[in-house]
Amino acid sequence: MFKQILTGYDGSEPALRAFALAAGLACTYGAALTVLAIARPPEGGADVETEAVIESSRQYHEKLLQELAARPEAQGVQAEYRVAVGHPAEQIIAHAEAGGADLIVIGHRGRGLIQRFLMGSISKQVVSHAPCAVLITK
């Protein structure tokens, strides 16, 4: 049923639940799994400072993915771990399109109404623009 599954990971509990579900589905269907961690660039700032912050964030996210790959949920799964830089929803959608994902699995943080109104919801943006099915975990 699924051949290519994509999940986003930021180290949060909802993201870990999404990863565990995505890994289980990948095992069940013999699908490849791409785990994407997204480093957000800072808003404003000098170019030199921005590059340093992005590199630091990239290293942090690479460490998160290394720790995730060592977890029991990751064992037996054909997974590729990647770090991207940009807005999370945009990167998830772009990687789903480029990688031919037929399922995106993401966690939902359950933010309050005011936060969702002011900042938007990554999961809502992904659902609205994804090129494939989206499964949201709580």
Higher pLDDT, 20 or 118: 20
Rounded CA separation 129/44 (Å)? 27
Write the DSSP string, 4-35.
EEEEE--SSHHHHHHHHHHHHHHHHHT-EEEE
Predicted confidence at residue 119, as pLDDT, reads 45
Alpha helices in 70-121 (DSSP H): 88-99, 113-119
Rounded CA separation 95/51 (Å)? 22
Give strand pairing partners of 32: 4
Contacts of residue 20, defined as CB under 8 A and 6 or more positions apart, other chains included, come to: 73
Average predicted confidence (pLDDT) for the chain: 88
What would the pLDDT profile of 105-134 be if each residue is shown by its tens digit?
Answer: 999 875 555 555 544 588 889 999 999 999
Amino acid residing at 100? G
Predicted confidence at residue 131, as pLDDT, reads 97
Q: Give the rounded percent of residues in the chain with a pLDDT score beyond 70.
A: 88
Domains and CATH numbers, the chain: 4-137 (3.40.50.620)
Predicted TM-score (pTM) of the model is 0.87
Q: What band does 43 get if pLDDT is binned at 50, 70 and 90?
A: confident
